[in-house]
Amino acid sequence: MAGGKETPRQKMIGMMYLVLTALLALQVSSAILLKFQFLDESLKEVNDKTIVDNAGVVSNIKSKVSEGGNRAKDKNVLSEAEAVRKETSELVNYIRGLRTMLVEKSGGTNEEGHYANPSAEDIVAINMIGAANKNNGAAYELKEKLNNYAKFMRKYNENMPESLARDGKDDPIASKDREQRNKDFAQLNFEATPVVAALATLSQKEAEVLKYEADALQNLAQKVGADIIKFEKIFAMARAESKTVAAGTKYKADMFIAASSDAITPRMTFQGKPINVVDGKGQIEFTAAATNYDADGNSKQTWKGQVIIDKNGEQEVLDVTEEYIVAKPVIQVQSASVQALYFQCANELNVQVPALGAVYDPSFSATGGSAIKGAKKGQVTIIPNSTEVKLNVSSGGNALGSETFKVRPIPRPSLVTVVNGKPVDQKRGIPAQSIRAVEIQAVADEGFKQFLPQEARYRVTKWRAFLVRGSQPVDQAEFSSPSGDLSRFAAKAGKGDRVTIEVLEVKRLNYQGNPVSAAASGDGIFTIPLN
């Protein structure tokens, strides 16, 4: 069946066709044969009503032609409608003749009104397909008549397919079945088919023919005004110059009436492309975007559309042009270190665009570093690798803008010497015998630690100590952790000696927990006098 807008009756026929196709695939039983008969009778009832309706459309066209003064153009439309009705009637009568022939040759009906031999697959095969390998059954003539009808109807119905009787290879369902795709139309529809199923198949073909006739007659009826357009829905509308008005300025709007009709569905386009039409109103939705903004952050844009109405077979096109203002979204960045980011550190930012509200769906990219989207909306981590980072913000695939940040170097940690748990006063020194448990601490810059505590974790990983007397070293030791035991220095040291410490390596744990090299403040060498 063709697509397009279908009546409830046509939709019901389509559903019956699907059920019929499913039943044909099942093993035949008496219960299924009864279901075939039910489908056949239902289709026959619908077809009879459709024939009456289609004849009524032709009568309506004839009346409208008379009311219009029997103009030559309108009379030509009536002639075409009568030709469609005649061609359809001949084909329907032919199909119903095939039905009568199958019923009679299978024994007719019994006293209860049921078919005497509802299965009778041999009767169907002999009469519809023909003797073996001869392909001379009535289904081949039916195929020719159906396809000739389709050819005739294409000039009246743009939805008319090229063929109404398809072989297996051309059928959208059968072509997917290895056993069915090589069958011709007759074999596909009437091979191994009970009488009741064959009758239901014929009724379905008749329904399809009548459906296309109904579409064609409606198209012809519109050309003479047989379909009267009544505006059932009248409503008031207003169009304001702007929905946003500053205090102290004038609000301006046009108020007018609009109407829609259930009898027609006008076609509408937006920027040259079709759009959905609901209750006579076209639904336009798009993501606003602009590239150039004025000093106030506004950009005037225009969209164009068309409303296309069929009036007596002729199209009337109404153009629509509408202006709108795109306001540049304001990007708000929240961070403790928003004025400048730290080099090769995980700088966490919270980027929000209040104007977008709930539709805000951010994505980020960065120049001069990398951007990692966070778990919550608007959260992003920037890891700079240059002296300046440009953060690009988009929402739903549409670019919103960018923010540029300066990048500052990581402050060097200070080194603190702790002996026996107490910081050492390098000017006053310590007693010689107390130089035992020594720890070298790398202390982060306080401001850096407050901004990025996960980045401000330092550790001295290698240092060297010398016991010096006069200008000569007496002993030395090297350690690969912050703490070291200098008890042997204490055993050798005397008043006036000194301990010189040289820090060889400092590491910093970054946000990923990976150690990276870090430089401490100063030269990393300091001396502790021994008293």
For residue 337 the two structure tokens come to 């270190």
Is residue 507 predicted with pLDDT exceeding 50?
yes
The answer to whether 391 and 382 have CB atoms below 8 angstroms apart is yes
CA distance 137 to 128: 4
71-85, 91-105, 318-332: the lowest-pLDDT one: 318-332
pLDDT at 426 over 50: yes
Please give the pLDDT value at position 323. 81
Q: Is the dihedral of CA 89, 124, 29, 181 positive or negative?
A: negative
What pLDDT does 425 receive?
Answer: 87
- Inform me whether the pLDDT recorded for 24 exceeds 60: no
Residues 299 and 306 sit within 8 Å (Cβ to Cβ): no
Position 227 scores a pLDDT of 43
Q: Where are the alpha helices (DSSP H) in 376-463?
A: 446-451
C-alpha distances in angstroms, 395 versus 310, 378, 481? Answer: 40, 10, 49
Cα(372)–Cα(390) distance, rounded to whole angstroms?
14
355-381 pLDDT, tens per residue? 788 888 999 999 999 999 999 999 999
What is the chain's length?
531
The reported pLDDT for the residue numbered 501 is: 93
Question: Among the listed ranges 119-133, 279-293, 353-367, 509-523, which one has the minimum average pLDDT value?
Answer: 279-293
Residue 149, phi then psi, degrees to nearest 5: -65, -45
At 183, list the tokens. Answer: 């069958």
Q: What is the pLDDT of residue 242?
A: 66
Residue 259, pLDDT score: 74
Residue 73 confidence (pLDDT) above 50? yes
Per-residue pLDDT, 262: 66
**10 Å Cβ neighbour count for 248?**
5
pLDDT of residue 230: 56
Q: Measured between alpha carbons, how far is 369 from 491 in angstroms, rounded to an integer? A: 54
Rounded CA-CA distance 395/361 in Å is 5
Beta bridge partners of 64: none
As a whole number of angstroms, the distance between CA 59 and CA 255 comes to: 43
- Strand positions, DSSP E, 279-386: 281-282, 298-311, 314-327, 332-334, 340-342, 347-352, 362-367, 369-373, 379-384
**Least-confidence region, from 231-235, 236-240, 371-375:** 231-235
**8 A C-beta contact, residue 409 and residue 448:** no
CB 390 within 8 A of CB 366: yes
Give the separation between CA 353 and CA 362, rounded to whole angstroms.
Answer: 9
Report which of 331, 343, 412, 334 is spatially closest to residue 382, judged by C-alpha positions. 343
pLDDT tier at 28 (50, 70, 90 boundaries)? very low
pLDDT tens-digit profile of 177-201?
888 889 999 898 888 889 988 899 9
Sorting pLDDT into bands at 50, 70 and 90, what band is 25?
very low
In the chain, what percentage of residues exceed pLDDT 70? 88
SS3 232: coil
- Give the mean pLDDT of 247-260: 74
Q: Please tell me the predicted confidence (pLDDT) of residue 216.
A: 92
- Give the pLDDT band of residue 346 (cuts 50, 70, 90): very high
Give 70's pLDDT tier (boundaries 50, 70, 90).
Answer: confident
- The pLDDT tens digits for 434-476 are 889 999 999 999 989 988 999 999 999 999 999 999 989 999 9
CA distances (Å), origin 105, targets 188, 193, 385: 21, 15, 90
Identity of the amino acid at 251: Y
pLDDT confidence of residue 7? 66
Confidence class of residue 3 from pLDDT cuts 50, 70 and 90? very low
Question: What average pLDDT is seen over the chain?
Answer: 85
Where do the DSSP E strands lie in 331-396? 332-334, 340-342, 347-352, 362-367, 369-373, 379-384, 388-395
Give all domains of the chain, ordered by start, each with its CATH number.
Answer: 8-223 (no CATH), 233-327 (no CATH), 332-408 (2.60.40.10), 414-529 (no CATH)
The more confident residue out of 320 and 6 is 320
Q: How far apart are CA 270 and CA 286, in angstroms?
A: 10
